[in-house]
Structure 1
């Protein structure tokens, strides 16, 4: 049985005379090989099938640019190898402001060593930055608070100008209410924050504004309790590198009665240094108050934070990928083959 050239387009005579209707021959997307003894009914069916296949294969998925849910991150991880950055902290501590400011600083070229190399969630970043822009109509820069209890994920790619290294990151935006729930319940910690175990970079933000005022003791106690509950429920362990960021440093740097080591570091280290692999501390001021902006620059401390993200670490875990659905969302993810 021999084969002949055939075409799924109506009116094409390539089966009879070997000539493509559009003059494309084998490059034609409608072209296929067929048995030479098929009857006209078979040819019609084959033509319809080929047309359907052609429509399916020509479909293009376009990213909307919005934030992603945990069940949507595979749309990014299937394209790129990504590091996950999990950002934890209480209400109004500056988690979302940190994300918005990183995006803004790339737009104005503030990171001299690094370049913005793309994002599949640029709309999500823009929404978080809106209230800091003059177009929003507000008189004082602000950031809309994250309200949803579930994880919101933003994608960003960063290029190191010195080494030409380009890395992709998935940055979490988690509401303060989720942190409160997890701190108050081991079951909620496992259910809401189980995926934290798979983070490449783990950040906990302590609100500098609270440390500067009457809520200092409560802010430190909340951090201690959260870390303890995370350890008790095996979210944090002896492989965890915890980055503690003290936000709104512009409100703290001039206080004569504030010593970062005595007030924060010594208390956290005293309880957890032997239980975690490492605890690092950074001072940041993502968006200083206007009256403090001359003493502390916009995005104070964020360049060093980006440097930490960009540092190669071959032992790092790989971003989780989606598997079969389960009632507990942590069971919906597994680590890539070479991850830990």
Structure 2
């Protein structure tokens, strides 16, 4: 304590701090981990999807529209190919006893599709056969199957690239690169097609951002070479979707977001944001806050909040009554149950 002011010298010295910390440890963590999750599992394109350095942030927009309905978790891993991601997957997804998982969006291929033995950093290339196998194992992994059949899995195709922008960005990173391309539009397209084929094989919806971007760029999907190739004139529309030829710009993320919401509406309309219940009742829904006909204020006692919104946690005595949060419509958010 400060002898002159007689006030706590730091937050940790506050007399109630240990009590609050104990409460948070017992209850708060459980509440956070008890939500329905929307997991984004991919490479740097997803890792950067919350960035505020672009005009539109895909991850932030998704978090906003599902606010208080689904918890969006960013598990984008910059630089990872599917070989590395498959090893990391069990550490990236929630355990079913901790949290449920409504959506799993998988987006890889930008690194797998690097040209084999291309100069620059460590080898990222993964053969297309192994790439497909790795994605199949991700979808069928025990850490996904543990959540049952209710997980909505979405495969996202590798976005197209712009070779000119990629070369400039790579030359800045690797000064000795010269004119060697580490990625090509044609090779990237092969990995996008592999994802389409796998989605068809496993009957999993595919968000085809590769085809969507090329369509916006005026490509008919029949003519070669592809937009973004150095064998074609510069395509301003395609370039507008990409910052460095590989990663998405704000407009690229905006298109990805629009395609995702359209896909969800088409395949799982019941999981659209406006059709999911709020995680907690609305502040002005009076029946929630009434106990025996009156409004009861929560009170602090025994290291925790008591009252209508007391959280689940701990081991209540056998036969005791405890108010718990349950999933349901707004009018049935709180119920009394026997524990």
Fold agreement, TM-score > 0.5: no
User: Which structure's CA Rg is the greater one?
Assistant: 1
Task: Give TM-score, length-normalised by structure 1.
Answer: 0.40
